[in-house]
Structures are given as structure tokens and as C-alpha cells.
Amino acid sequence: MTSLQDYSEEVRAEVKQVRETVATLHRQLIQWNLVVWTAGNVSQRLHSADLMVIKPSGVRYEYLTPQSMVVTDLDGNLVDGAEAPSSDTASHAYVYRHMPNVFGVVHTHSTYATAWAATGRNIPCALTMMGDEFGGPVPVGPFCLIGSEEIGKGVVETLKKYPFSPAVLMKNHGPFCIGKDAESAVKAAAMTEEVAHTVWAAEQVGTPIEIQQKDIERLNDRYQHVYGQN
């Protein structure tokens, strides 16, 4: 087994920083009401080496510290950490290996997103916020068992068909979200739950009006290129 001592000082410094980032972002999952008890996990891939930092398995959120975050390589092998890594480690690793622009992955069981996942229905694109963030519907991915890289494969295959979406609702399971770093992926997880809840609520009082494709494209283009600070 490789050890963190086998890596350069630059890599070890990035590990230290990413451990802090990933530990802190787990609090955002609580703040935005995306997880219960120990469910859910955040990881971030390093830029200086083929490593990732991920939540330990089955640890309560209030006990997470930067030091408790686990470091693995991109095959999911343990490199540093006192705890066993998340059950979803192999799937995070699969996503990083197959999507080179992705440096953050987040998984939650957030209530309304998971409700859509339990029915197998994509969330129809009826909100400008969806045009902005997802460039269309939020897609459902295949049913997969937990513990292997099968989920990661399902995420990657689904995103080939929905290249603008940062989220896949894994059937019967819950959302997996990606981003250019862990913070972007956490944002995608928060937005996924918000649009899942809103379109769900819309269906109870009427028929959500789907936005036309040309308008979705204009929303998404502006959002990706103009919104926010440079």
C-alpha cells in the first residue's frame, strides 16, 4: 500500500487543504437539509496527484474533522486515514477516472430528489433555475447495488446523454452530483433538491409548464458564462 509519505510536499500540502475543504463542506449538507444521520458524502480530487479525499463511512456529521477525511487513489485504494472510506468510494473514483474535468463529487439522499428517483421519472425542466443549472431535465440513472463502482458507471453513462446536467438521480437511491470542485458539486446537490421539491410541488396544483428548448439553451448559456464573479 502506498502511503502519503511517498508523495511530494506539494501533494501533502494539497491533501491538507482539501481535507479542510471537504470536512467543511459536509456542514453545508446539514445546513441545506440534504442528509440525515450519516447518509451522504463529499469528495474532491486533487490537482497535484491522482488522489481524492472522501468522507469516512458511517460517521456522524458532528464528529467529522479534516483529519478524519480519508485519502485514496483513483482506484479507491486507501492511501491515508484512520477510518474506512465511504461505501461509495469506488463510484466516486470511477467518475474521476472517466470525467477528467470533474474534481468534486457529492452524493445525498435528499428527500424530494430521491422521491423522483424512486419513481424513475426525470424531473421535467419547468424552472428557469433548471435551465440555468441543469440545461434541461434532471435525469434518472439506472438501478445499481451499493459498494462497487457500478453506481459511478451509471452516473457517467447517464451524463453522456445529459451533458449539461451536474446531477443524476440514481434509481431507488438518490442524487449523485458533480462539479469542477467539491463546492460546485455541493451547490449542485442543493440545487437538485430545490428544483426536485419545487417541480414536485407544482405537480400537486397543476401541470408544470415545460420551458422551450431554445429558451433553456439561452438560460444555460448566460448562466454558465455571465452569472457570478469572474
Binding site for its own copies (CB under 8 A): 32, 36-39, 56-59, 83-84, 87, 109, 111-112, 114-116, 118-121, 126-129, 132, 143, 145-147, 171-174, 187, 190-191, 193-194, 197-209, 211, 215, 218-219, 222-223, 226-230
Q: How far is the CB of 103 from its own copies (least distance, A)?
A: 19
13 vs 209, which CB is nearer to its own copies? 209
Q: Rounded to an integer, what distance in angstroms lies between the CA atom of residue 101 and that of residue 162?
A: 16
Nearer to its own copies, 11 or 216 (CB): 216
- Between residues 101 and 207, which has the closer beta carbon with respect to its own copies? 207
C-beta closer to its own copies: residue 22 or 46:
22
CB of 39 to its own copies, least distance (A): 7
Q: Are strands 104-107 and 78-80 parallel, antiparallel or unpaired?
A: unpaired
What Cα–Cα distance (Å) separates residue 83 from each residue in 87, 203, 218?
12, 43, 46
**Angstrom distance (rounded) from CA 135 to CA 219:** 8
In the complex, the smallest distance separating the C-beta of residue 14 from its own copies, rounded to whole angstroms, is 23
C-alpha 213/C-alpha 188 separation (Å) is: 21
**Cell 440513472, residue?**
141
Return the residue matching grid coordinates 458532528. 62
Residue 117: CB minimum distance to its own copies, A: 8
- Neighbouring residues of 211: CB distance < 8 A, sequence distance ≥ 6: 125, 126, 127, 128, 130, 131, 219
Instruction: Classify burial at 212, counting beta carbons within 10 Å of its beta carbon; exposed 0-12, middle 13-18, buried 19 or more.
Output: exposed
Least distance (Å) from its own copies to the CB of residue 180?
Answer: 14
Given the C-alpha cell 511517498, which residue does it identify?
Answer: 6
Pull the grid cell for residue 150: 457500478
- Nearest residue (CB) to its own copies, 143 versus 164: 143
Least Cβ distance, residue 43 to its own copies (angstroms): 17
| 79 vs 170 by CB, closer to its own copies | 170
